[in-house]
Structure 1
Amino acid sequence: MAKKQKAWIHVGMPGAGDVVEPALAHHHAALVELGVASLARSSAESFRAAVEITRSHKDWGLKRADVEGQWTRLVRRARKSRCDVVFSQPLLATATAEQVALLVDALAGYQVNVVLTTGLDDESAALARWQTACRKPERLHVLETDGLDPGQVWKAFGRLVGFGTASLGLDGLPGASATLQTLPEALREVERLARRNASLEVRLEELDRKRRKLKRRLSSAA
């Protein structure tokens, strides 16, 4: 029997674990070479998928149509790689049990593993909701980040999933600065701004699509 591919879902509480999402997107191509495909290739993609799953589009000033079907599209695209897949987005920590079930439904055929990184908030409620995503208790992992800087968290996460991070640096990535670890309020602000920036990226993509569509119409009418 062929070995079942794994799907790794990272659920991070606000804190050092926030570095996982941008690092996965930034190193997408290199990770595929290592046998791991990041479902999202940009923070905007992962944000849009998490907003769809958590039904929080209105909270971010988006329309349902802006995010509809994003999660399924990412999973379908990643399946073509025939690699293990991985996804990370801090908004998943707020997902309800029903939303967790919907996310897992799209991963039919994968062995689902969940990694929860601790942070500034109590993770017990999120842990209880996400443990239902794993059929076996050993597939639920809790990565304690107390005393770890983002680089150490990234290395520990890679070790769990099964890839090395020695050549996958964090230079220039948001949330990779260790100096923020002692400033909880600053970390919360960084997270808020990162989510807002991703929301703006989604809007800009939609405006660009409409601009190109209008340009084609004008050209055909000329």
Structure 2
Amino acid sequence: MAKKQKAWIHVGMPGAGDVVEPALAHHHAALVELGVASLAHSPAESFRAAVEMTRSHKDWGLKRGDVEGQWSRLVRRARKTRSDIVFSQPLLAAATADQVALLVDALAGYQVHVVLTTGLDDETPAVAQWQAACRKPERLHVIETDGLDPAQVWKAFGKLVGFGTASLGLGSVPTASATLQTLPEALREVERLARRNASLEVRLEELDRKRRKLKRKLNSAA
């Protein structure tokens, strides 16, 4: 019997674990070569998928149509690689049991693992919500980030999933400033701004799509 491919979902509380999402997107091409396909190729893609699954589009000033179907599209694209798949987004920490179940439904055929990185907030509610998604207790993994810098968290995450991080450095990966990581309120503000920037990027992409569509119409009418 063929071994099931794995789907790794990273649910990060605000803190050093925030590095995982942008690092996965930044290194997605290299990761495929290592047998791991990142669902998102940019922070905007992961943000849009998490907003869709948590039904929080209104909170970010977006329309339902801006995010509709994003999660399924990312999963379908990643399936084509026939690799293990991985996804990270801090917004998933707030997902309800029903939202978690809906997200996991799209991963039919995969053995689902959840990796939760601890941070500034209490992770107990997130653990409870995601435990059921794993089906077996040993598929829920917790990385304690207290005392770890982002590079150490990234290395620990890679070890769990099954890829080395020696050639996947963080030097060119945009992340929250490490100098703020001992200031809880500052970290929350940085995380909020990062999500807001992703929201703006989604809107800019939609405006650009409409601009190109209008340009085609004008060219065809000329």
Give TM-score, length-normalised by structure 2: 0.98
Counterpart of 1:31, as a letter, is L
Gaps of 5+ in 2: none
Counterpart of 1:129, as a letter, is Q
Counterpart of 1:148, as a letter, is L
Alpha-carbon shift at residue 141 of structure 1 (Å): 0.4
* 8 Å Cα contact 1:12/1:93 also seen in 2: yes
Q: Which residue of 2 aligns with 1:33?
A: 33
* 8 Å Cα contact 2:176/2:190 also seen in 1: no
Q: Which residue of 2 aligns with 1:168?
A: 168
Aligned length: 222
Q: Which residue of 1 aligns with 2:150?
A: 150
Flag the 1:173–1:187 CA change in 2: closer, same or farther, 3 A: farther
* 8 Å Cα contact 1:150/1:177 also seen in 2: no
Q: Which residue of 2 aligns with 1:3?
A: 3
Q: Which residue of 2 aligns with 1:192?
A: 192
Cα-Cα RMSD: 0.8
SS at match of 1:7: strand
Alpha-carbon shift at residue 174 of structure 1 (Å): 3.1
Output one character per residue of 1:188-211: Cα deviation in whole Å (capped at 9) or x when no partner.
111111101110110000000000
Alignment of 1:124-143 (within 5 A): 124-143=124-143
Counterpart of 1:60, as a letter, is W
Gaps of 5+ in 1: none
Alpha-carbon shift at residue 181 of structure 1 (Å): 1.7
- Give, in whole Å, the separation in 1 of the partners of 2:173 and 2:80: 27
Q: Which residue of 2 aligns with 1:115?
A: 115
Flag the 1:135–1:108 CA change in 2: closer, same or farther, 3 A: same
Give TM-score, length-normalised by structure 1: 0.98
Counterpart of 1:127, as a letter, is V
Alpha-carbon shift at residue 182 of structure 1 (Å): 1.2
- Give, in whole Å, the separation in 2 of the partners of 1:109 and 1:99: 19
Flag the 1:162–1:139 CA change in 2: closer, same or farther, 3 A: same
Alpha-carbon shift at residue 172 of structure 1 (Å): 3.4
- Give, in whole Å, the separation in 2 of the partners of 1:109 and 1:170: 32
Counterpart of 1:221, as a letter, is A
Alpha-carbon shift at residue 183 of structure 1 (Å): 1.7
Counterpart of 1:155, as a letter, is K
Alpha-carbon shift at residue 173 of structure 1 (Å): 2.4
Counterpart of 1:198, as a letter, is A
Counterpart of 1:42, as a letter, is S
- Give, in whole Å, the separation in 2 of the partners of 1:99 and 1:153: 27
Counterpart of 1:142, as a letter, is V
Q: Which residue of 2 aligns with 1:46?
A: 46
Alignment of 1:52-131 (within 5 A): 52-131=52-131
Output one character per residue of 1:65-113: Cα deviation in whole Å (capped at 9) or x when no partner.
0000000000000000000000000000000000000000000000000
SS at match of 1:8: strand
- Give, in whole Å, the separation in 1 of the partners of 2:55 and 2:88: 17
Alpha-carbon shift at residue 171 of structure 1 (Å): 1.2
Range moving further from structure 2, 179-188 or 199-208: 179-188
Identity, in percent, stands at: 89
Alpha-carbon shift at residue 176 of structure 1 (Å): 5.5
